[in-house]
């Protein structure tokens, strides 16, 4: 998704990053989604490994 949203922004030039341009919102939302813990492989590996080993989780549930 990030690559797909980055291509039109790159082709459009710096105007694609203007707040009023719809591409800016699409690009921003796609990139922001990558900062969420659930899409980070290292975090998921730790959670899954602890579950397999029966280790107590030290994280809070997502609301």
Q: What integer pLDDT is reported at residue 1 of this predicted model?
A: 55
50 pLDDT higher than 70: yes
Question: Residue 19 and residue 37: Cα distance in Å, rounded?
Answer: 26
3 pLDDT higher than 70: no
Per residue in 8-46, pLDDT (tens digit) is: 667 667 676 677 888 888 888 877 777 776 677 777 788
Locate the domains of the chain by residue range.
Answer: 2-53
Closest Cα partner for 36 from 6, 63, 5? 63
- Residue 31 makes CB contacts below 8 A (sequence gap 6+) with 2, 5
Residue 9 region by backbone torsions, left for phi larger than 0, else alpha for psi between -120 and 50, else beta: alpha
**The pTM is what?**
0.42
């Amino acid at each position: 998704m990030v690559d797909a949203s980055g291509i039109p922004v790159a082709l459009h030039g710096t105007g694609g990053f203007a707040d009023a341009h719809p591409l800016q919102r699409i690009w921003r939302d796609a990139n922001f989604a990558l900062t969420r813990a659930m899409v980070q492989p290292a975090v998921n590996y730790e959670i899954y490994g602890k579950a397999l080993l029966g280790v107590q989780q030290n994280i809070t549930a997502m609301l």
